[in-house]
Structure 1
Amino acid sequence: MSSHNASELPILCSSGQLLLQPLWDRVRAREALTQSPLFAVLFSITTYVGFCLPFVVLDVLCPWVPALRRYKIHPDFSPTARQLLPCLGQTLYQHVVFVFPLTLLYWARGPAPWPREAPELLQLARHVVGCLLLFDAEFFAWHVLHHKVPWLYRTFHKMHHQNTASFALATQYMSAWELLSLGFFDMVNVTLLQCHPLTVLVFHVFNIWLSVEDHSGYDFPWSTHRLVPFGWYGGVRHHDLHHSQFNCNFAPYFTHWDKLLGTLRSAHAK
């Protein structure tokens, strides 16, 4: 081995970034777009709507495809256009009126320079799981507070509970205060853990997917809660029980906080 190759090898091996580097290089090649304030809003909306659309199609097909009903939590319910369109309109309105101006303020100070190197795969995985656990704890506390204090519930959280039978596009049918609270938790967590920009994007994709899946109304054999052992992850039936009974299963994803504080109710016992 030449001295030139020998000097490069430790650098490559110590980075541990070989799997993610090509992906990160492609993101950095579009830096003019990905570092613009418009990108954050477009990324959020397109990811959310993209995850919702398959479930919207399933809801349309469900009355005509009886086999789908075995996976639907409420087999006789299908959201109508009068339910779907206000939910989609609420999401678009809040992103234009609230999220985009706040993003502009954030970027006004100047975007932070991006590193040339991708994160290590294990580091990315640890940070994504860490952000999900932190978000789960923060939203659990926020959620309990907004259910236990009547004024908070009526003023800020009741809107999200107007649809007792969940469907995908109802995921972000919420007040501006609730949407901004969730966004604030996201920002705090990725800053606290000093996440790589690629990790931030991956975390947002996971977070949006899990929230849409929890509200989708479908419990498939490959649903996320079936992939996590020991009942640590609640899943769609778990969250649907919260929407129908209001006083249980406050954590958005995991079950440990509800179990510790006595608010866990098994979806199987339902």
Structure 2
Amino acid sequence: MTSVVSGNFTTGATFVDTFSYISEIHPQLSWFEKIWASYFAWFGDDIIATGVFIFVLHESMYFGRCIPWMIIDSMPFFSKWKIQEAKVISKKEQFACLKSVLLSHFLVEAIPIFGFYPICNYLGISLSVPFPSWITIVLQICVFFVGEDAWHYWLHRGLHQGVFYKYIHKQHHKYAAPFGLAAEYAHPVEVALLGVGTVGIPIFWVYITKNLHILTVSIWICLRLFQAVDAHSGYEFPWSLHHFLPIWAGAEHHDEHHHHFIGNYASSFRWWDFVLDTEAGPKAKEDRLRRQALKQKKNA
């Protein structure tokens, strides 16, 4: 692979000059690969460049996904698809949530974001071009989704116990009817612990395999943010993903958790709650009681 930062060449003072130079010496690269290589070569410091890139990516993807839900919340046309239609979040509540989320992003999440690359660089993560194949990227992201979901289920379930709920997780349950912006509205300790599932799984992966690219991590972060925001959107549409992929959790699954304050602990998939009988909501309760009655009848 062609290293992004190695090579005995002098780049120009501007990004455009750097891009022109990279394009000249590596014409075989795709346009996006040239942009990628030029960014890191122009920046000149991989740690800062990666930290800035991932932080800006995180902010733009998170709020870029929240804004459409905020617009939908303000349009009565969509209320027929709102899961808890009677509970409407005011602009004042949304603004208070926004302030808390921004503080969390800059004072809590920025630290591991800027510390991520030095750890992964030591373990063998790549910044190089050309990029890995799409098959490799997709397979690794699937592993990350499954791993994060397991971490999220057990940690989330633990945060509902006693003092952990009272002093940490209760903040996230301030809104019984969730909305997109509230996806990362949580106590700093919870933000840090749940964040381990997002960044810790890739770190563990590169430690074991020595095969991971920052691009893969970037795509994973975008998809994980989209999943988290959508799960808190509070809307159930006929085209919601779980109708086509039954194992997917989504807003309908997570809204029941916020409504009943218990059960449905997983983030992305339904299997942990199904297998361990921690599904939430009236239907799940009815199914549970029916199974118990059948079991008692069988043992009678």
TM over 0.5: yes
Q: Does 1:227 align with 2:239?
A: no
Q: Unmatched 5+ residue regions in structure 2?
A: 1-28, 207-211, 286-300
Within 5 A, what are the aligned runs for 1:207-222? Answer: 207-222=224-239
Within 5 A, what are the aligned runs for 1:114-263? Answer: 114-147=127-160, 149-194=161-206, 195-228=212-245, 231-263=246-278
* CA shift in 2, pair 1:109/1:243, >3 Å: closer
2:82 to 72, 91, 94: 72
Aligned sequence identity (%): 25
Aligned counterparts of 1:129 and 1:25: Cα–Cα separation in 2? 27
Corresponding residue pairs, total: 244
Deviation at 1:266, TM superposition (A): 6.3
Structure 1 contact 55–216 (Cα < 8 Å) conserved: yes
- Cα deviation digits, residues 147-172 of structure 1 (max 9, x gap): 1x210011110000010001111111
Structure 2 contact 179–234 (Cα < 8 Å) conserved: yes
- Cα deviation digits, residues 210-250 of structure 1 (max 9, x gap): 1111100111233222231xx21122111111111122111
Query: Which of structures 1 and 2 has the bigger CA Rg?
Result: 2
Aligned counterparts of 2:51 and 2:264: Cα–Cα separation in 1? 35
Q: Determine helix, strand or coil for the equivalent of 1:35.
A: helix
Query: What TM-score comes out, normalization by structure 2 length?
Result: 0.74
Deviation at 1:206, TM superposition (A): 0.6
Structure 1 contact 55–168 (Cα < 8 Å) conserved: yes
Q: Over aligned residues, Cα RMSD in angstroms? A: 2.4
Aligned counterparts of 2:284 and 2:157: Cα–Cα separation in 1? 22
* CA shift in 2, pair 1:106/1:204, >3 Å: closer
Aligned counterparts of 1:198 and 1:82: Cα–Cα separation in 2? 37
Structure 1 contact 251–258 (Cα < 8 Å) conserved: yes
The AA in structure 1 aligned to 2:267 is P
Structure 1 contact 24–198 (Cα < 8 Å) conserved: no
Aligned to 1:25: 34
Aligned counterparts of 1:236 and 1:105: Cα–Cα separation in 2? 32
2:60 to 43, 46, 49: 46
